[in-house]
Structure 1
Amino acid sequence: MIVNTYFFGELEVPEENIITFTSGLMGFESQKHFVIVKNNDTEKPVPFFWLQSVDDVDLTFVLTVPFIFKQDYEFDLPEEVEKKLGIDANSEIGIYSIVTIPDKVENFHYNLLSPIVVNYSNRQAEQVVLYNENFSMHETFKKK
């Protein structure tokens, strides 16, 4: 399948790489089909990815794996989300945070309060709202 992307132009994406958000993303509920695009043009691994809408070239988000920057990030996935996504003991799960990129690099932040959970076993995904006062929608990247 050809997917038009905002940053990379046309990409050939296997159908099995399309992720379906059961409820869409917050604020974009009508957009259900996305692909996670990795930047393979760099020599070193990059901790950022693009979540590109399959149906809207202009709808793309920067993602990161939150555990890279916050090793103690953990939460219990609500049972209703596990059921909705068909998650069981054999499921391969991915957890991502949406990154916000304001005008200054030092103001970059990522959302720990509403992670994106992907069940790679069936390509179903959900943006989950966590009710946890220890998490922020505006978690800053800490320099090591």
Structure 2
Amino acid sequence: MFIKTKYFGEIDLEEDKIIEFPQGVMGFEEYIKYTILYDIEEGEKPMISWLQCVEEPGLAIPVMNPLYVKADYNPTIEDALLTPLGEISDENALVLVTITVPEDKTKVTVNLKAPFIINSDTRKGCQIIVENNDYPVRYNIYEVIRKMKEVGGE
């Protein structure tokens, strides 16, 4: 099926690449079908991806694996919230956090308080509020990214 996207134009998307968020995502509860897109060369691992809504081309949320910027990220989640996703394991769980990039790049943040949890086997996802009080909505990642680039030689 062909879908229109905010940053990638029109793309041919296979049905098995669609992730359903039965309750939608926060602020966009009416949209339930998404896919994950990224712009990398073959064999590279994407640091930033896009949670692209299949139903609304203008809705594309930048996301990343929280472990890239907070290696000890271990959210406490009420099991009942994950039940609709099916059996979750370390092998099929995908955790993503939203990225906010303001005009001042030194203020780039990720939301550690409300991650997306996706079961890659069932292709069902949800966005939840974690119980951990030490995970902020705006966790600044500028210094972490800068240090990663220094180590990587960029």
Specify the TM-score bucket, using the shorter chain as the normaliser.
Answer: over 0.9
Aligned residues: 144
Who is 2:45 aligned against? 45
2:50 maps to amino acid: W
Question: Which one has a larger percent helix, Structure 1 or Structure 2?
Answer: 2
Decide whether the 8 Å contact of 2:98 with 2:115 is kept in 1.
yes
Structure 2 distance, partners of 1:110, 1:97, is 6
Deviation at 1:46, TM superposition (A): 3.4
Question: Which one has a larger percent strand, Structure 1 or Structure 2?
Answer: 1
Which runs of at least 4 in structure 1 moved beyond 2 Å after TM superposition?
40-46, 87-91
Unaligned stretches of 5+ residues in structure 2 = 148-154
Corresponding residue SS for 1:82: helix
Point out the more displaced range, 40-49 or 14-23.
Answer: 40-49
Q: Are the structure 2 counterparts of residues 42 and 110 from structure 1 closer, same or farther at C-alpha, using a change threshold of 3 Å? A: farther
Deviation at 1:43, TM superposition (A): 8.0
Decide whether the 8 Å contact of 2:76 with 2:130 is kept in 1.
no
Structure 1 distance, partners of 2:62, 2:13, is 18
Structure 1 distance, partners of 2:50, 2:90, is 26
Structure 2 distance, partners of 1:127, 1:80, is 13
Does residue 105 of structure 2 align to residue 126 of structure 1? Answer: no
2:102 maps to amino acid: P
The C-alpha deviation readout for 1:35-81, integer Å capped at 9, x for no partner, is 00011248853310001110111111100100011000002332112
Decide whether the 8 Å contact of 2:75 with 2:131 is kept in 1.
no
Q: Normalising by the residue count of structure 1, what TM-score does the alignment of the two structures yield?
A: 0.92
What is the aligned-residue identity percentage? 25
The C-alpha deviation readout for 1:71-123, integer Å capped at 9, x for no partner, is 00002332112211112448611000000111111111000000000001110
Unaligned stretches of 5+ residues in structure 1 = none
Who is 2:109 aligned against? 109
Corresponding residue SS for 1:84: helix
| Aligned Cα root-mean-square deviation (Å) | 1.8
